[in-house]
């Protein structure tokens, strides 16, 4: 797939996600879009992100609680702290603001 087409496809996916109106619709879309393993991996990363942001548990404790590999935990931590995208942080901040 050429890079421009890949980039366009990613933005089209983002548009599709933005059209979802509630958690139930989001869940149904993700169930259609992802294999059970992919959905499990996404959910695991998000849970790891929340636990890392909370700052109360070590990597090993998060591993024991979630089953996530130390590599996955380290990658999520890097994206949470160091990477320029700040997607994790954006959503964490919005969820902490409440309705």
Quick one: pLDDT at residue 5?
A: 74
Q: Do 92 and 46 reside in the same domain of the chain?
A: yes
pLDDT digits (tens, 9 = 90+) for 46-92: 999 999 999 999 999 999 999 999 999 999 999 999 988 999 999 99
Whole domain around residue 89: which residue ranges?
34-99
Q: Do 21 and 11 reside in the same domain of the chain?
A: yes
Task: Scan for tokens 């931590």, then name that residue.
Answer: 77
Q: Do 10 and 54 reside in the same domain of the chain?
A: no
What's the number of domains the chain is made of? 2
pLDDT digits (tens, 9 = 90+) for 38-58: 999 999 999 999 999 999 999
Q: Do 23 and 66 reside in the same domain of the chain?
A: no
For 45, residues 6+ apart whose C-beta sits below 8 A from its C-beta are: 68, 72, 76
């Amino acid at each position: 797939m050429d890079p421009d087409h890949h980039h366009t496809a990613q933005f089209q996916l983002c548009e599709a996600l933005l059209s979802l109106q509630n958690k139930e619709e989001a869940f149904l879309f993700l169930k259609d879009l992802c294999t059970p393993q992919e959905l499990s991996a996404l959910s695991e990363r998000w849970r790891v992100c929340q636990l890392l942001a909370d700052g109360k548990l070590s990597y090993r404790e998060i591993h024991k609680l979630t089953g996530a590999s130390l590599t996955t935990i380290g990658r999520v931590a890097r994206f949470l702290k160091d990477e320029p995208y700040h997607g994790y942080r954006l959503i964490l901040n919005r969820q902490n603001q409440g309705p």
